[in-house]
Copies of this chain bind each other. A is one copy, B any other.
Amino acid sequence: MNTIDISAIKSPSDIRQMDEKQLKDLAVAMRKALLEKLSAHGGHVGPNLGMIEAIIALHYVFNTPEDKIVFDVSHQTYPHKMLTGRMQAFADPTHYDDVTGYTNPQESDYDLFSLGHTSSAVSLASGLAKARDLKGGKENVIAVIGDGSLSGGVAFEGLDYGATLGTNFIVIVNDNDMSIAENHGGIYTNLRMLRDTNGAADNNLFRAMGFAYRYVHYGNDIPSLINMFRSVKDINYPIVVHINTMKGMGLPVAEADKEKFHYSAPFDLKTGESCSPAAASMSESYDDLFANQLLARMKDIPELVVISAGTPGAIGFSPARRKEAGSQYVDVGIAEQQAVAMASGLAKGGARPVVALASTFLQRAYDQFSQDIALNHQPATFVVFYGSMFGLNDETHLGFFDLGLLSNIPDLLVLTPTCKEEFLAMLRWSEDQRKKPVVIRVPGGAVHSDSKITILKDYSCPLYEIVRKGSRVALIGVGTFLPVMQQAAENLAQKGLDPMVINPREVSTLDTACLDSIKDFELIVTAEDGIIDGGFGQKVASYFGDTHIKVINLGLPKEFLNRYNAVELQRECNLNPDGVTNIVLSTLK
């Protein structure tokens, strides 16, 4: 076996002169480097291991970057990055952090879009193809979609339009029989039928939509892939190439447990055990608290049902817990619109739906929150995970925007618990109530406990809790930041002030009775775990706009931050006790 020096590969042109054996050696060497990085650094494991061969074949056959490839979901593009000028970030441990986990045009011209939310690649590529046609270009336009992202509605919208383009348009469906967890939905039944018949099944979703169709059974075999890609290169009509790949290929533990190794913290290559001390020492998490409370209640309430949109692990529903929940657990796949609209139907039908979503993905269902849920007053419960600056910190996965987004929808109650006791109480109340749609935003950061928090029997009306009585200054801490305000109040007390501290409990309505009771104060400071624009604090500032009280709003800037350091950001935004303390002292002086 020849040794391939992968560090010498600077661009796809470096692989286009290779012979079949060299390409196979390349795949071996890339897989070895990937495994070393992934086990030491963590990242998306299975998706990338499964796509090494296909990505080699794509860059071998197509004339990238003139030919344009849009990857979806782009967490499967580590091999693409390795071949397009960024090998060092995978081969040299001191450079592991040089690249992001998704395609990023700022890193390379081979990356066309920052794409982390899945399902829009076909639409984006259809725009590239149409632009090419308007300008008289001849390049190939290729969308690569897979790893569960085909179920998102925008993917269908893209296929529906793309099928009618009438010119070169190549959609590679990377079918590894998995989403993050197992696949759900009719389209995956069809993909399985197509796999089982070597692409010849009677019913073919893609042909039905108007695409030509080809199938590659050995989607990790470079010669098969090269032959297929050559046969569709420069084609002058829309075609789907369905490739059957193996998620986790080459790592036995990942082949055996595809869900666990979809994404992983650093792990032992042989045993698959996590090497992350953080993961090992994590004694308590909000997703576990959530899942355990739900599971316990499901036994007594047969119509209580939990809905996930393809991310069961993020909401505490491990395979064992999903089994325990049985028919009271529903995974609709990556299809947030379905999750939210279905919840409306469930509530209307007398069930008690609890939809658990990551903040960054719930925005895909804004119209369903507004129309199907709020306008229809359906008592469904939505639990928002990672809605915090302490959540995911990739620019594509930020959790800053949901607070304003949801709290400005009429009739939608957005609760912001500050600790686990309040979170579980609000969750339980909402499961039982039949009055209105409720969003519960899980606090950010490590699990916080506060045994002194006041638990209510009914959270349906705005009712702020004054957790510390005081005068002149009121500190309103939303969710995550109530403890920060409590600490700031202690600091200020040492300086001779006596600040009031308020837990607003919810952000969608103002408790005007409480606010009116402090209208003679000199200063109100609000702090929220989201962008200031359109958020809670600005409602307070507007409410007091025609008075002489000063109102200062703390929160995050309206920016797509990328891989930021949360502690630094907290300090920059004065969202820590010292920051609040200083602002109060300098404003009152």
Question: A residues bordering B, Cβ < 8 Å?
Answer: 68, 70, 105, 112-117, 120, 123-135, 151-164, 184-187, 189-190, 202-205, 207-211, 302-303, 305, 327-328, 330, 332-333, 335, 337-338, 341-351, 353, 363-364, 366-368, 370-372, 374-376, 395-396, 401, 404-405, 407-411, 531-535, 537-539, 541-542, 544-548, 550-553, 558-560, 587
Contact = CB atoms under 8 A, between A and B. Distances in A.
Contacts of A330: 130
A131 B345 CA distance: 8
A205 B187 CA distance: 10
Contacts of A375: 114, 395-396, 560
Nearest to A551: B545
A368 B548 CA distance: 41
29 contacts: A68-B349, A113-B348, A123-B337, A123-B345, A124-B342, A127-B343, A130-B330, A131-B347, A131-B351, A133-B327, A152-B157, A153-B337, A154-B338, A160-B186, A160-B187, A160-B333, A161-B332, A186-B209, A189-B210, A190-B209, A205-B205, A375-B396, A401-B409, A405-B408, A407-B533, A408-B531, A408-B533, A410-B560, A545-B552
Contacts of A204: 203, 208
B396 A338 contact: no
Contacts of A132: 349
A208 B190 contact: yes
Which of A159, A190, A349 has the most B CB atoms < 10 Å from its CB? Answer: A349
A337 to B, nearest CB: 4
A585 B454 CA distance: 44
B113 A338 contact: no
A542 B532 contact: yes
Contacts of A348: 112-113, 124, 127-128, 131
A252 to B, nearest CB: 31
A541 B344 CA distance: 36
A410 B184 CA distance: 34
Contact of A541 (B113, B335, B407, B538): B538
A18 B236 CA distance: 57
A367 B120 CA distance: 10
A539 B551 CA distance: 12
